[in-house]
Amino acid sequence: MKKVAVVTGSAKGLGRAIARALVDWGFTPVIHYRSSEKEAAEVLKQVQKKTPDAIAISADLRNEKEVGRMFDKIYKKFKKVDLLVNNVGNFVYRDFSETTNSQFVDLLESNIYSTLFCSRALLPSMRREKSGHIINIGVVGADHLNLLEKSAPYFFSKNGVWLLTKMMANEEAKYGIHVNMISPASLETDIFKKSDFPMGRSAKYQDVIRVLEFLISDKAYYINGANIEVAGGFIPRIK
């Protein structure tokens, strides 16, 4: 039986690139989306050329009940999940004083709650299997305090994801479960200039994918609870 991977937010961007790569590695991906139905259908059509059993599921991962229903459907079809990539997480770029309460709450819920709810939904199964990988997508600098102008709440939420990574890795390691985090520099260039990056460019999807491939391989067996920055030496700071 092929391994099964759930990639949250895989209708677009990094999540889509990861889902496509997983097919080449022998996984059957579950394409998750919330409202990007058209984009999710396009990705599903592409991956089904190599893995016909792939499916697409819509769910608001900020809602624990919706997460539960999503994984019920997944387990009904596949019986197991070998890999979860917690990619979902909204971003707001504005001064803290101008960030509304609803935006702040959304940052926490879309980044921290989605990671927590999805991970806890599949951990019982992974414990029974005594194996499994959870990869959380963070951001460069997520493992320490960052009071950056216009993005402090976002870093606050990713810091929470980092703490979840450490806690889950520590508790689940005895079951053979690996929980790690990949933290890229900006994957977009609209906020930064190329000259802002020590290596002359922002992170690319393939940079992240190469690290993910390593972390879920046997070569990375003793790496658990780690945060790997894919940032080319970039350090976020207040300008």
pLDDT value at residue 195 = 85
Q: What is the overall mean pLDDT for the chain?
A: 94
Structural domain tally of the chain?
Answer: 1
Residues 175, 173: Cα–Cα separation, whole Å:
5
Rounded to 5 degrees, φ, ψ at 7 are -120, 110
Residue 128 counted as domain residue:
yes
User: What is the reported pTM?
Assistant: 0.95
Over residues 152-173, the pLDDT tens digits come to: 889 999 999 999 999 999 999 9
Cα–Cα distance list, 51 to 2, 165, 221 (Å)? 9, 30, 27
Q: For the chain, what's the residue count? A: 239
Q: Which distant-in-sequence residues (6+ apart) come within 8 Å of 221 by Cβ?
A: none
Q: Which two tokens stand for residue 210?
A: 């190469």
Residue 101 counted as domain residue:
yes
DSSP three-state, residue 155: helix
State the residue range of the domain holding 166.
Answer: 3-230
Q: Which two tokens stand for residue 195?
A: 């000259």
Residue 217 counted as domain residue:
yes
H or E segment and range at residue 213: helix 205-215
Over residues 204-227, the pLDDT tens digits come to: 999 999 999 999 999 999 999 999
Residue 19 counted as domain residue:
yes
pLDDT value at residue 187 = 83
Percentage above 90 pLDDT, the chain: 82
CATH number at residue 143: 3.40.50.720
**Does 115 score more than 80 pLDDT?**
yes
